[in-house]
Amino acid sequence: MKISLAHAHRFSSSRRRRWLGFTLAEAMTSMAVFSVVLVGVIASQMFGLRMFQITSPKLGASDEARAAVSKLINDIRSAKLIRLGNGSINSFTEVPVNGLQQGTAIQVYPTLDTNAYSRYFWDTNDQKLKLTTNGSTAVLVVANSVTNSLVFTSEDYAGNILTNNYNNRLIGLMLEFYQIQYPKMSVGPGNYYDYYRLHTRIARRTIL
């Protein structure tokens, strides 16, 4: 079969035109579609970063709070005796009878032996909640950046602060933070969070 030269010329010319490229309208349309997709990808990325910034401090604060109170909760739940008052690494003074059961420190006795105890206290010097045992000079930091001094309370079932050392009382724990440790972030008016507080109540398992 023979193909005429004119027909062959028309065939090759149309084929070449097909591969030469886009017209101006096609190029502009393609760039517009690409720009819309690119803006959508960037917006999604920025939204993801924003959500991470919001979620990360909350997760860090929750983790810090859980680490701060886990040992304290276990000690109080298993305690035989609990004394609430004011104290430091060197001393402890229990709240007197008929006085409001609230203070900066608490002593927890795992047995009826009053020489063996754990003392949790708020240190006024560096505003940290610390733990010492049996009058030792070594301390363990339980919580950092705590602003409130009245950390511990003795409460009834309705949350009222008691005036006597009742056997079936609840121990209230209140921690107000001015800084989150991870990620490190200040707390207060004008910052990412205006207020951060941990409040819980703990009951002993064994009632004598």
Could you read off the pLDDT tens digit of each residue along the chain, which spans 208 residues?
Answer: 554 544 444 545 555 555 556 677 778 888 888 889 999 899 888 888 777 766 766 666 666 667 767 888 889 999 999 999 999 999 999 999 889 999 999 999 999 898 999 999 999 999 889 999 987 888 988 888 888 889 999 999 888 999 988 888 899 999 888 877 666 777 778 777 777 888 889 988 866 5
The domain segmentation of the chain, as residue ranges, is: 57-202
Of 162, 172, 166, nearest to 72 by C-alpha is 172
Q: Rounded distance, CA 35 to CA 51, Å?
A: 24
Q: Rounded distance, CA 196 to CA 21, Å?
A: 61
> The pTM is what?
0.69
Is 107:117 a contact under the CB 8 Å cutoff?
Answer: yes
- Over residues 36-83, the pLDDT tens digits come to 999 989 988 888 877 776 676 666 666 666 776 788 888 999 999 999
